[in-house]
Every structure is written in C-alpha cells, then in structure tokens.
Amino acid sequence: MKTQGPLSIAPMMDCTDRHFRYFMRQITRETILYTEMVVAGTILHSYKRGDLKKYLAFDPIESPLVLQLGGSCPESLAEAARISEEFGYDGINLNVGCPSDRVQSGRFGVCLMTSPKMVGECMNAISKASQLPLSVKTRIGVDDHDDYDFLRDFLRIVHEESGVKHYTLHARKAWLQGLSPAQNRDIPPLNYDRVYKIKEEFPEFFIEINGGIKQTEQIENQLNRVDAVMIGRAAYDDPWIFSRVDTDFFNADQNPSESRSDALLAMQSYLDKLTAQGHKPHALVRHMMGIFKGQSRARLWRAFLSNEMKQRDSYENLFEDSLKVFS
C-alpha cells in the first residue's frame, strides 16, 4: 500500500504545499508526502465556485501523496473525499491533532479526541464515499485527558466505528488553552512509550510515530518499535536529511540527487514555469532555504537569493548563479 511506507513527511500548514512537495521529490521519490490540511468546507465551496484546482491539484511526481482533511461533519467530509478522489491522491487522512484557534472554533482537529465516536462516524462516512486508504493523525492526549487508557479507548472506538487501522500518533498531548500551536509542538513532553504500548496492544494496527525525530539513527531506532516514522519541522528546516532515505529505507536502487546542488539545479525549470504563469519566485524559493543548512556560506547563499528575488526582472539561471557564493 503506497500510504504505508516506513517514512513520511508530516502535513504542515503554510509549509507542505505543492511547491514544497515538488522540491522534496528532487531529494526523495519514495517518502510519503501529505498535503496541508484542507478543510472539508473549503473543498465544497470551491467545488461550487469551480476553482478546485487551487486547493487540490498537484504534479504526478508528488505521489505517493495523502490528502489531509479537516472537519467534524461526516456528510461534509464524505462529500469532500468523493470530490477529491478524482485528483489522484493515494490516501486520505483526517486531522485530529491540530490545536490552532481556527480548528478549536470549528470544533475539529485535536478537539475531536474527546469525541471518538464522532471521529469514527466521520471515518466511516469517508470510507463509504471513497475507495482510498484512510488514516487518522492525532495526539496521545489533550488537556487533562492524558493517560494510556484515554488514548487506547479513543483508538479502539474509532476502529470499531470505522474499521480504520492506520494511525499516526504525535507523541505529545495538546494543551488547548495557554499554548500556541508552535508551543504545542515543543512544550508538552514527548512520550514515545505510550505509542509503543499502543502498538503492542494493537499489533494489527499500522502505527506511525511523530514528534521530535530528526536524524537517521532515530528513524532506525523507532522502526524497531513501530511501523513507520513521520517527520515534521525537521524535514522543512533541513530537507537534505532525506537525501539517502530512498536507498536506506525503501530499498530503491538510487536516490534522486547526489548533492544539494543537484537538487537545487533540478528546480530551475520548475521555477521558470512558475514565474511564467505570473507567480512570484518567493512562492517556491521560501521552501528551499534549508537545503544548505549547516554548510559553510549557507547564510550568504540565502542572502543572495533574497536580494536577487527583489532585484531581478528575469529569474532564469537564478539557482546556478546562486551557487557561485560557494566558489
């Protein structure tokens, strides 16, 4: 199943758009990618307006790609899934982990952890509307609901209601009051053991762990305990950490790019196409600023790009020219 490989990159708002995903395919062709969360209501309204491509279109190279949906109405989620399936996604994921004010006001995201029957009904409705593999991304707890029994019962009820067996567990609980979404990514302590225990109790479930994993050695250790690893901010901040994962974890014959420079130069034609359509280069380049993280002169390279994007009339050969700062 395309959506159940050993490694994936987490859905991240304002990060994992189609430009970032195209860029990551120059570094890894096998890692499972996720869209940003798309609210079911947005898809339904967009469908009526006739501009679905704005939210759902992607390049075939981005596959395997999972669409992450947000919402809490079974009917709306089912219709959004039905509409989205024609775009060619490899799977559908429901967001039950986001703690932002936006999702709290809409009563979805991590708020749904206290309503497992509703989550199960949502997933059941989606399963009847779409033939795609389904999964749920959630936390290990929320507010004062922070123990193993709560998480176990949540997963058990969702499964009983829907049959879903694929769960991505961010190994932190969420605090809905007092912490920002960014703080919720770091301040609640990691509890990997709770995820491991879930896998032990539900061996038939596909359990993917998320949170605080940044290095290849950590991936290898986690795969000894769970089925898969999902990496979030580290993938965005330092994308080159994925440069060898295709051969190391997916048994591929080779990796897409032998060097950071190769990955960068491979994006020039994409940038040319993007700017020819009237888009600003920043729409793409902002996602690429971490490619030389940790390398000498990386700061000069970023400064060069930032300056050139402001001053150039043409962005032809932009990436080739930027490499001169390393000479």
**Helix runs in 163-225, H state only:** 181-184, 192-201, 216-222
Give how far Cα 259 sits from Cα of 35, 146, 176, 243, 305, Å.
Answer: 26, 44, 42, 8, 19
- 167 pairs with which residues across the strands? 136, 207
Joined tokens for residue 95: 């967001």
**How is the chain split among helix, strand and coil, in percent rounded to 5?**
50, 15, 35
- Please tell me the distance from the alpha carbon of residue 125 to that of residue 129, in angstroms, as a whole number: 6
- Angle at CA of residue 41, ends 37 and 44, nearest 5°: 110
Q: Pick the catalytic residue: 15, 98, 111, 122?
A: 98
- Angle at CA of residue 239, ends 210 and 171, nearest 5°: 10
Q: Which residues of 49-75 are buried (b: 16+ CB within 10 A; e: fewer)?
A: eeebeebbebeeebbbbbbbbbbbbbe
Determine whether 111 is an active site residue. no
Joined tokens for residue 84: 């989205």
**Helix runs in 25-93, H state only:** 40-49, 53-56, 74-84
- What is the layout of strands, in order, in the sheet containing 65-70? 7-9, 228-231, 206-210, 166-174, 134-142, 91-96, 65-70, 33-39
Q: Mapping DSSP to helix (H, G, I), strand (E, B) and coil, where does residue 25 land?
A: coil
Closest CA to 262 of 21, 27, 9, 20: 27
What residues act catalytically? 98
